[in-house]
Amino acid sequence: SQQGEEDPQALSIQEGENATMNCSYKTSINNLQWYRQNSGRGLVHLILIRSNEREKHSGRLRVTLDTSKKSSSLLITASRAADTASYFCATDGSARQLTFGSGTQLTVLP
Amino acid sequence: NAGVTQTPKFQVLKTGQSMTLQCAQDMNHEYMSWYRQDPGMGLRLIHYSVGAGITDQGEVPNGYNVSRSTTEDFPLRLLSAAPSQTSVYFCASRGTGNTEQYFGPGTRLTVT
């Protein structure tokens, strides 16, 4: 079974708007990671947040982590058409294996 | 560095046929994994390896075998292909001190 579950499953916004995706998970983690997948391609790592961190930034990306609620959010600011992709959260737990959620399909309309 | 490479990119098999999906990485990573991705779903772990000579089962191992004779290579064998194995297969690697995972481009497999 999958550890992380993203919400919403699909999101459509206009270019320039912000996009927020959420991830919930079930067990304790060492860190949580977000990946992006363009259609027909492999996954690309975006950002990692450790279990003792609450917020992290990388360019237009902002990730938050609330371990008490077992949830994370990914915010993409000032979205661009090129941000259109599927976004997955992945949890890194005690087994040292990444467990992926089912993803959010983001469409940014020009 | 080429990163993680996978061959073939596409494959069509008939039910009952066997084949090997190849995966190689040139980053000297200890950890390697195989995932399958089905429409509308995330990635599910098939098998993984924490080093040469060491492999273990993931979430969906049935119908697949792996071996890890070298650090670089981690082939995935389908023993007797079934239509339920139609999927996109991704190989990935990561170092022991580095938790970022690097993915190959994927193999799209269709079993008829």
ω into A8 cis (within 30 of 0): yes
SS3 assignment, position A81: helix
pLDDT at B5: 96
Write the pLDDT tens digit of every residue in A47-79: 999 999 999 999 999 999 999 999 999 999 999
The residue-averaged pLDDT of B79-105 equals 91
Which tokens hold the place of A102? 């089912």
Which of A33, A90, A102 is the closest to B40 by Cβ? A102
**How far is Cα B47 from Cα B28, in angstroms, rounded to an integer?**
19
Confidence of residue A6 (pLDDT cuts 50, 70, 90): confident
**pLDDT, mean over chain A:** 92
Chain A residues 8-37 with a CB less than 8 Å from chain B: 30-31, 33, 35
Of B33, B42, B106, the CB nearest to A97: B33
Q: Determine the pLDDT at residue A84.
A: 97
What pLDDT does B47 receive? 96
List CB contacts (< 8 A) between A96 and chain B.
31, 50
Chain A interface mutation, best of B99, B102, B108, highest count of A Cβ atoms under 10 Å? B99
pLDDT above 70 (res A26): yes
**Quick one: pLDDT band at residue B2, thresholds 50, 70, 90?**
confident
Strand order in the sheet with A71-76: A5-7, A19-24, A71-76, A61-66, A55-58
What pLDDT score was predicted for residue B98?
58
- Residue burial B16-31, b: 16+ Cβ < 10 Å; e: rest: eeeeebebbbeeebbb
Asked whether the CA dihedral A80, A81, A83, A88 is positive or negative, the reply is positive
Q: Which residue in this structure is represented by tokens 């390697």? A: B32
Strand partners, B78: B19, B64
Task: Give the tens place of pLDDT for each residue, B31-89.
Answer: 999 999 998 778 999 999 999 999 999 999 999 999 999 999 999 999 999 999 999 99
